[in-house]
């Protein structure tokens, strides 16, 4: 039998029989690897174990420890679930069933609503399918063959009709279920070891509200019961930390349908937290050479046409018409979805010199975006929100140092709040504007700045803004979830569109670059993430109420109020719990409200001019003078 040579990840070359599959390669390497193998990579492409290998290719064996293993598992779990649905509901129509972050889903139509009992039955049937270790078999069909296989599946037929004429049409079969699928898949259903169906939700076919509403069953799958249990525990913890739940319990904010979906109403405590964040970052920015601007909430459509938003972003904007007076046609306006045009208009109001650059303009500007109702989610995805925007006008040579200075701010903020973070560089999208050389210069500058600053990064191909590349900062919260937060963008499009220039040392006119940056990003989103990260227990400097003063008896109330006034003058946000309740109840209430300090006052404390201090996690930490306590609180501000 003739042999072929393949290259392994370590660079070594191995000979295998002609016609060998990826599974055969794994077996040739060793029995333990063969037993652990779930897929392979041939010249970097993920494939099934049954895929034949050709002479000269590079082959890597994929096990459950591979970064893509969970996606492979969850895609296969979606097929197992679909097979279970088919066996229980033979007339079901199937949409799509992809792997998603932490799980999978399948869109289905059965003629009625799924019940909790249905989900239990589907899970039970899935366990039977898993126990049977059914292989996932791949088959390549002609278009006519595929249309025949899916003759009674209208959604699959629609997908087939949209495939290019030269597309390879492949299916995967497991038991009686056959799906239109590119693959790859696990070797057999027995690898779907630990799974759980989570919920059912409505989902329009292809995300189009004009199309049929299907039912989407969500599930999760892991390689071990231990991992599944850990995930379910994280979900329980996330539910306890849900910012919407804590926002209500801590009296921070609410949403009101009378006001409109995605529009937050801050209560006094929430507004105080918001205010403290703004004041803290503003003070830091002034020290770093920024200056503040304030710009309108609406502009004429002409502004958005100049910026390009009218063409590229109009569906996400709130347009309106304003009557300009008798005999005049109404003028098109739009509520701003971005703050950037305001900074451009401020810049171009005066003649600028190279000596003015870099010009760093910051603004806490509220914007409004017409998000679809299905994606609006508390503070995390709102229709109205405030951005800690800044726009820096600079020369090409100043891009790298300015981006590095922004990364300094990122580090300061992330370290202050205890976030681990990483970076991602997003490159030119398909729908974009600008010259290739500008994109190349800007993208290279962002990467160089990250390299010189020392922050590792991933590349996200094609996900830049339409006007330039960007850096996205992603943070990990206290329970391990990843959130996209800060963004730094290079813009060479709007300076050209708005015709802004600066006079060089040689007395010529040049166009500056414009850098967009938001570190908190959306203030609302950051606040939501911070609430969940801290479980509502804000650091002392940010807490809306930093201390509650608890009188032991009513006769101590007057002195407690005097203590509150003293603390207020010293900059401490304090309240007196004056209700006629036992002290233990007042302490419990303060703990429930996540107040950092509880100050107990009785006869002894009045005589000594002290307060008995309880810290929310450490408990009783002893007596302290009022001024000493105020100094302690002041020392906790970053």
Active site residues: 340, 369, 387, 389, 391, 470, 516
Query: Using an 8 Å Cβ cutoff, are 265 and 378 in contact?
Result: no
Query: Using an 8 Å Cβ cutoff, are 440 and 469 in contact?
Result: no
Strand partners, 460: 426
Helical segments of 288-339, H only: 301-307, 309-312
Instruction: Give 3-state DSSP helix, strand, coil % of the chain, rounded to 5.
Output: 35, 30, 35
- Residues 531 and 557: their CA atoms lie apart, in Å, by 32
Query: Which one, of 4, 31, 29, 27, lies nearest residue 15 by Cα?
Result: 4
Strand partners, 472: 424, 487
Q: In three state form, how does the secondary structure of 170-230 look?
A: EEEEECCEEEECCCCCCCEHHHCCEEEEEEEEEEEHHHCCCCCEEEEEEEEEECCHHHHHH
Concatenate the DSSP letters of all residues of 405-418 into one string.
Answer: HHHHHHHHHHHHHT
Query: Which one, of 621, 633, 503, 514, lies nearest residue 568 by Cα?
Result: 633
Q: Which two tokens stand for residue 254?
A: 């609410």
Q: In three state form, how does the secondary structure of 575-637 look?
A: EECCCCCCHHHHHHHHHHCCCCEEEEECHHHHHHCEEEEEECCCEEEEEEEHHHHHHHHHHCC
């Amino acid at each position: 039998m003739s042999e072929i040579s393949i290259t392994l990840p370590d660079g070594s070359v191995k000979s295998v029989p002609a016609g060998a599959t990826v599974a055969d390669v794994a077996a040739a390497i060793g029995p333990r690897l063969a037993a652990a193998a779930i897929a392979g990579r041939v010249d970097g492409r993920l494939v099934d174990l049954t895929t034949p290998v050709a002479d000269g290719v590079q082959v890597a064996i994929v096990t459950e420890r591979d970064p893509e293993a969970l996606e492979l598992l969850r895609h296969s779990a979606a097929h197992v679930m679909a097979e279970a649905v088919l066996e229980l509901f033979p007339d079901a129509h199937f949409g799509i069933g992809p792997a998603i972050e932490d799980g999978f889903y399948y869109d289905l139509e059965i003629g009625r609503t799924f019940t909790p009992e249905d989900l239990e039955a589907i899970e039970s049937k899935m366990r039977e399918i898993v126990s049977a270790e059914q292989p996932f078999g791949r088959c390549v069909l002609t278009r006519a063959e595929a249309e025949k296989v899916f003759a009674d599946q209208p959604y699959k037929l629609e997908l087939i009709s949209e495939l290019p004429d030269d597309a390879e049409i492949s299916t995967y079969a497991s038991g009686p279920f056959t799906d239109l699928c590119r693959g790859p898949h696990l070797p057999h259903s027995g690898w779907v070891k630990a799974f759980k169906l989570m919920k059912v939700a409505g989902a329009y076919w292809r995300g189009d509200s004009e199309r049929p509403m299907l039912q989407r069953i969500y599930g999760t799958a892991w390689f071990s019961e231990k991992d599944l249990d850990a995930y379910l525990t994280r979900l329980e913890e996330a539910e306890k930390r849900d910012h919407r739940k804590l926002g209500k319990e801590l009296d921070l904010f609410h949403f009101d349908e009378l006001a409109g979906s995605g529009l937050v109403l801050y209560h006094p405590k929430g507004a105080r937290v918001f205010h403290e964040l703004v004041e803290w970052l503003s003070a830091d920015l002034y020290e770093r050479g920024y200056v503040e601007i304030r710009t309108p909430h609406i502009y004429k459509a002409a502004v958005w046409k100049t910026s390009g938003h009218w063409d590229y972003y109009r569906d996400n904007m709130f347009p309106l018409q304003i009557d300009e007076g008798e005999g005049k046609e109404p003028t098109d306006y739009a509520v701003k979805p971005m703050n950037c045009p305001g900074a451009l208009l401020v810049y171009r109001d005066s003649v600028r010199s190279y000596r003015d650059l870099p010009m760093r303009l910051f603004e806490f500007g509220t914007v409004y975006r017409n998000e679809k109702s299905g994606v609006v989610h508390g503070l995390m995805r709102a229709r109205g929100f405030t951005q800690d925007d800044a726009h820096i006008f600079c020369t090409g040579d100043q891009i790298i140092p300015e981006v590095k200075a922004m990364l300094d701010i990122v580090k300061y903020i992330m370290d202050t709040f205890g976030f681990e973070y990483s970076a991602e560089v997003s490159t030119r999208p398909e729908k974009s504007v600008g010259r290739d050389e500008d994109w190349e210069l800007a993208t290279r500058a962002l990467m160089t700045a990250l390299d010189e600053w020392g922050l590792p990064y991933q590349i996200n191909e094609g996900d830049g803004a339409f006007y330039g590349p960007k850096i996205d900062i992603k943070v990990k919260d206290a329970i391990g979830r990843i959130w996209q937060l800060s963004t730094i963008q290079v813009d060479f499009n709007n300076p050209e569109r708005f015709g802004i220039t600066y006079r060089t040392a040689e007395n010529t006119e040049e166009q500056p670059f414009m850098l967009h940056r938001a570190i908190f990003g959306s203030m609302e989103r950051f606040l939501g993430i911070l609430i969940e990260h801290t479980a509502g227990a804000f650091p002392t400097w940010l807490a809306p109420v930093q201390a509650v003063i608890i009188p032991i008896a009513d006769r101590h109330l007057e002195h407690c109020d005097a203590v509150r006034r003293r603390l207020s003058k010293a900059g401490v946000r304090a309240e007196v719990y004056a209700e006629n309740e036992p002290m233990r109840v007042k302490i419990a209430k303060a703990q429930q409200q996540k107040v950092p300090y509880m100050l107990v006052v009785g006869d002894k404390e009045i005589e000594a001019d002290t307060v008995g201090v309880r810290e929310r996690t450490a408990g009783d930490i002893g007596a302290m003078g009022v001024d000493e306590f105020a100094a302690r609180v002041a020392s906790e501000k970053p």
